[in-house]
Homo-oligomer: A and B are copies of this chain.
C-alpha cells in the first residue's frame, strides 16, 4: 500500500504562544518582530530550522495563521515556514486563493527572503504583499542553507503578478536568530548532494 495522505502540524509550543499573541499587528515592524520570535522559539525548542512566517490581513493587521519550519519534525521537505503559514491561512479561510477571500489583501511576513520553492508557493497563494527580514545573501552567509535558484528578477516578477515586496524589515534582529541557530550546531538540512558514492 502506498501512502495516500500527508499532514503537517505545528509544534506544541505554538499553541500557548498563539493564545498569548495580540489579535492585530498594526505595523510591518510589529509583524516582523512576531515572526522573528517564532523563528527564535523554533530554535530554542529544537523543533526545526530558524524560520518563522505569518499571514495577516494587510490592512487590519489581523493575524490569520502562523508557520515555522517543520521539515525535520514532519519528515516533509516542503514544510518550510512559508508553505506552512500559507497552507494554514488557506485552511483558516476555507479558500485556496486568498485573493478571493473576504479581506482580499493578505500579507505574508517572513524573517528571511523565501527560498526558490516558497517564492513560487507565495505566488500561487493569492497573497498580495510579501515582507521579508534577512536577505538571501545573509541567510546563505550566516547559515549555509541553500536558498535555491530563485529568478534573478524575483521582485519584478512578483510585482507583475500583483504582489508587492517590502524587504529588509528588522534585518539585524532577523540575522541574530540565524546566527543563534548556526551556533547551536543544529542541522543545516540542505538536501544531500553527494550521492555519487
Q: Chain A: residues with CB nearer than 8 A to chain B?
A: 2-10, 14-15, 18, 63-66, 71-72, 74-78, 83-84, 86-88, 90-92, 94-100, 104-105, 115-121, 123-126, 128, 146, 148-154, 157, 161-162, 189-195
Q: Which residue of B lies closest to A123 (CB)?
A: B148
Number of copies: 2
On whether the beta carbons of A90 and B76 are closer than 8 Å, the reply is: yes
On whether the beta carbons of A150 and B151 are closer than 8 Å, the reply is: yes
Question: How far is the CB of A191 from the nearest CB of chain B, in Å?
Answer: 4
Q: How far is the CA of A180 from the CA of B100 in the complex (A)?
A: 26
On whether the beta carbons of B77 and A191 are closer than 8 Å, the reply is: no
Could you say which residues of chain B place their CB within 8 Å of the CB of A125? 77-78, 191
Q: How far is the CA of A84 from the CA of B77 in the complex (A)?
A: 11
Q: How far is the CA of A87 from the CA of B117 in the complex (A)?
A: 14
Q: Which residue of B lies closest to A196 (CB)?
A: B162
Question: How far is the CB of A96 from the nearest CB of chain B, in Å?
Answer: 5
Could you say which residues of chain B place their CB within 8 Å of the CB of A66? 2
Q: How far is the CA of A84 from the CA of B87 in the complex (A)?
A: 13
Q: How far is the CA of A120 from the CA of B191 in the complex (A)?
A: 12
On whether the beta carbons of B124 and A78 are closer than 8 Å, the reply is: yes
On whether the beta carbons of B162 and A193 are closer than 8 Å, the reply is: yes
Could you say which residues of chain B place their CB within 8 Å of the CB of A193? 99, 161-162
Identify which of A64, A92, A120, A128 gathers the most chain B CB atoms within 10 Å of its CB.
A120
Q: How far is the CA of A104 from the CA of B15 in the complex (A)?
A: 37
On whether the beta carbons of A72 and B96 are closer than 8 Å, the reply is: yes
On whether the beta carbons of A191 and B97 are closer than 8 Å, the reply is: yes
Q: How far is the CA of A68 from the CA of B119 in the complex (A)?
A: 21
